[in-house]
A and B are shown apart, each in its own frame.
Chain A
């Protein structure tokens, strides 16, 4: 039995439809990440789960109970906000106690016990008597998480909780959130626009665009089997290269033909249907290698480097191939200058084709996706 069920959930603000029919099931104890670009309706969806936003249409069930009209406090959920939402005039301890005290359902002993436990888990006992103004961003975020913990909710909702932190702290807090979830096993819905966060944190990741779910899958699967162009470009950094090609059959072999290259496609599901169509050919920058690293007989293509960006651990090159731009990740310190012509080969196991409407029709890998969930968009 799934713990949270969203059934064709919709939200309209006047004429604007912010969430356009989301079907999603979240298992008990699962860490689900909702990811998508700014304005795609992530926060709105989360706020509907919390009860802070009315549901325009559709049904929401938590623990098999329809909660559409249920008040936020009766849903047994706790939320952590991007700006922490701590009361500036209260100490950390008072902030964490405030909700429980106001609800009046808890004895003082119980409150103290929960407070101590949360402070221990988050390793902040020494901060409890400080006010938010006297805490750093990371410490504030811990207190905000602590405030959610003390409520011992059935569901944690987090709306971009790390986006106000600096890069280093974000990585650290990410690891701590993971540890916390492993310890508590509370069902968690985590909203972010950062695909790295989504990939590292989520048991499953739901990619949202323009108020619609694009794909829900485990992180690796999202990377290996993107359901459409949007997911392909959104997941992975730098984004997947997509260039228009014609898929043709040539002497028993199916090839993707482009002005600048022609690449043989291994026989996998969906390939036959693609033959004779024009499509978008996708390959990730990290799946393109310099010819020198490939076996001598591997097919290579010549491309022209236009810009190089040393990233430290690798060298990112923007290259021109037959009038289209593709990005290539090469090993660092490669002696390549803008203007050079280089020979590259594509990883045969990592080729993708997308049809004109943007849906994935073919992935060249011989592995099969674990969950065969179809894309949820219509």
Chain B
């Protein structure tokens, strides 16, 4: 009898504490990793309110004495608003252009029979091996020859063709039952009507997902605009932040100002992400398949 109760108690007790300690460990790890990932952002926000000397005091991690003054300086004196607007226009053009072009390309790939269809698709995928940074020199030459250098065209044009987007739309179209197309053919619905009235509404999630990724990617462009845009007022925000670095006060880099610029530059893509995060998740779920 005695041994019996003892053994049940012995098995019951560790079970309970195991459960608790497991939970604690897991939660501890989760909190730690979240803080770790959030730390740069939190620090950036904190530093954006500090003066340069406050930034250099490592122990000073509170809200600084500058308040929002750094933001005012960045937007006013350093014209960051203009750069952000330029970035916004650039990103929007790239999103619209890329989605439209990729939809048409996917339509052709999935719903038209043409010679060497597979080879064409493979060729499109091959372009993934040559992202813009690799092509910078010939691309620059091309832009110069076209007379596009130092214009909005030069920072949007090269990004509009996208193998990734074509691939995603193609896969999505192929998952749409063929009988929908058959039915449209019986009804005499033309390809363009079919694209606008059927395919696009049925691909809303995918389009939103591709748009989010593209917007953030375009917004974060740095190297190519730096190379191809020479007029400062036409520059994009990522390069604009770089301009902030040039400003120094009694030999100290204005980290507070730079951080304010960085935080400002973060807001538009963050908004886009928050608004469209659901379709984005869906897009990635399809990619996993």
Enumerate chain A interface residues (CB-CB to B < 8 A). Answer: 47, 50-52, 71-74, 77-79, 81-83, 85, 87-89, 98-100, 102-103, 147, 151
Question: Which of A72, A78, A102 meets B190, CB within 8 Å?
Answer: A102
Q: How far is the CA of A52 from the CA of B186 in the complex (A)?
A: 8
Distance (Å) between the CB of A352 and the closest chain B CB?
Answer: 40
> Within 8 Å CB of A87, what residues of B?
180, 198, 201-202
Contact with A along B133-167 (1 / 0, CB 8 A): 00000000000000000000000000000000000
Q: Which residues B13-38 have CB closer than 8 A to chain A?
A: none
Distance (Å) between the CB of B193 and the closest chain A CB?
Answer: 5
> Within 8 Å CB of B185, what residues of A?
51-52, 71-73
Distance (Å) between the CB of A136 and the closest chain B CB?
Answer: 19
Could you give 5 example pairs across A and B, Cβ below 8 Å?
A52-B185, A79-B182, A81-B179, A99-B187, A102-B187
A73 near B188 with CB under 8 A, answer yes
A83 near B189 with CB under 8 A, answer no
Distance (Å) between the CB of A45 and the closest chain B CB?
Answer: 15
Question: Which of A51, A85, A99 meets B189, CB within 8 Å?
Answer: A99
Please, which residue of chain A has its CB at the minimum distance from the CB of B201? A89
> Within 8 Å CB of B183, what residues of A?
79, 81, 85, 99, 147
Distance (Å) between the CB of B175 and the closest chain A CB?
Answer: 12
Binding site of B, secondary structure by majority: helix, strand, loop or mixed? helix
Q: How far is the CA of A145 from the CA of B202 in the complex (A)?
A: 22
Q: How far is the CA of A77 from the CA of B177 in the complex (A)?
A: 20
Q: How far is the CA of A51 from the CA of B188 in the complex (A)?
A: 12
Distance (Å) between the CB of B189 and the closest chain A CB?
Answer: 4
Question: Which of B177, B186, B193, B202 meets A89, CB within 8 Å?
Answer: B202
A99 near B182 with CB under 8 A, answer no
Residue B197, interface by CB 8 Å = yes
> Within 8 Å CB of B198, what residues of A?
87, 89
Greatest chain B CB density within 10 A among A47, A73, A147 is at A73
B187 near A73 with CB under 8 A, answer yes
Q: How far is the CA of A77 from the CA of B185 in the complex (A)?
A: 11
Distance (Å) between the CB of B176 and the closest chain A CB?
Answer: 9
> Within 8 Å CB of B202, what residues of A?
87-89
Question: Which of B179, B180, B186 meets A77, CB within 8 Å?
Answer: B186
A83 near B188 with CB under 8 A, answer no
Count, chain B residues at interface, CB 8 A = 17
Q: Which residues B186-211 have CB closer than 8 A to chain A?
A: 186-190, 193, 197-198, 201-202
Besides A79-B182, A102-B187, 15 more A-B contacts (Cβ < 8 Å) are A52-B185, A71-B188, A77-B186, A79-B186, A81-B179, A81-B182, A85-B179, A85-B180, A88-B202, A98-B189, A99-B184, A100-B187, A102-B197, A103-B187, A103-B189
Binding site of A, secondary structure by majority: helix, strand, loop or mixed? mixed
> Within 8 Å CB of B188, what residues of A?
71-74, 99, 102-103
B190 near A99 with CB under 8 A, answer no
A-B pair number, CB within 8 angstroms: 64
B197 near A98 with CB under 8 A, answer yes
Distance (Å) between the CB of B101 and the closest chain A CB?
Answer: 23
Distance (Å) between the CB of A44 and the closest chain B CB?
Answer: 13
Please, which residue of chain B has its CB at the minimum distance from the CB of A103? B188
Q: How far is the CA of A87 from the CA of B199 in the complex (A)?
A: 10
B186 near A72 with CB under 8 A, answer yes
B201 near A83 with CB under 8 A, answer no
Q: How far is the CA of A54 from the CA of B231 in the complex (A)?
A: 59
Question: Which of A52, A88, A151 meets B182, CB within 8 Å?
Answer: A52
Q: How far is the CA of A151 from the CA of B187 in the complex (A)?
A: 9
Q: How far is the CA of A78 from the CA of B186 in the complex (A)?
A: 7
> Within 8 Å CB of A98, what residues of B?
187, 189, 197
Q: How far is the CA of A163 from the CA of B185 in the complex (A)?
A: 23
B197 near A73 with CB under 8 A, answer no
Distance (Å) between the CB of A13 and the closest chain B CB?
Answer: 14
B186 near A50 with CB under 8 A, answer yes
> Within 8 Å CB of B190, what residues of A?
102
Q: How far is the CA of A88 from the CA of B183 in the complex (A)?
A: 13
Q: How far is the CA of A78 from the CA of B183 in the complex (A)?
A: 9
Q: How far is the CA of A99 from the CA of B182 in the complex (A)?
A: 12
Q: Which residues B235-279 have CB closer than 8 A to chain A?
A: none
Q: How far is the CA of A246 from the CA of B177 in the complex (A)?
A: 53
Q: How far is the CA of A78 from the CA of B202 in the complex (A)?
A: 23
Please, which residue of chain A has its CB at the minimum distance from the CB of B185? A72
Q: How far is the CA of A103 from the CA of B190 in the complex (A)?
A: 9
Q: A85-B179, A89-B202 are in contact. Are A99 and B197 (CB under 8 A)?
A: no
Please, which residue of chain A has its CB at the minimum distance from the CB of B200? A89
Question: Which of B177, B179, B186, B201 meets A99, CB within 8 Å?
Answer: B186
Greatest chain A CB density within 10 A among B180, B183, B187 is at B183
> Within 8 Å CB of A102, what residues of B?
184, 187-190, 193, 197
A85 near B187 with CB under 8 A, answer no
Distance (Å) between the CB of A188 and the closest chain B CB?
Answer: 15
Greatest chain A CB density within 10 A among B184, B188, B197 is at B188
Q: How far is the CA of A151 from the CA of B183 in the complex (A)?
A: 12
Q: How far is the CA of A151 from the CA of B189 in the complex (A)?
A: 13
Q: How far is the CA of A106 from the CA of B201 in the complex (A)?
A: 24
> Within 8 Å CB of A47, what residues of B?
182
> Within 8 Å CB of A50, what residues of B?
182, 186
A83 near B186 with CB under 8 A, answer no
Q: How far is the CA of A327 from the CA of B188 in the complex (A)?
A: 52
Top 7 nearest A-B pairs (CB, nearest first) are A73-B188, A99-B187, A85-B179, A81-B179, A89-B201, A102-B189, A85-B183
> Within 8 Å CB of A85, what residues of B?
177, 179-180, 182-183
Please, which residue of chain A has its CB at the minimum distance from the CB of B188? A73
Q: How far is the CA of A50 from the CA of B188 in the complex (A)?
A: 12
Distance (Å) between the CB of B112 and the closest chain A CB?
Answer: 15
Distance (Å) between the CB of A79 and the closest chain B CB?
Answer: 6
Q: How far is the CA of A102 from the CA of B185 in the complex (A)?
A: 11
Contact with A along B62-95 (1 / 0, CB 8 A): 0000000000000000000000000000000000
Q: How far is the CA of A79 from the CA of B183 in the complex (A)?
A: 7
Distance (Å) between the CB of A266 and the closest chain B CB?
Answer: 51
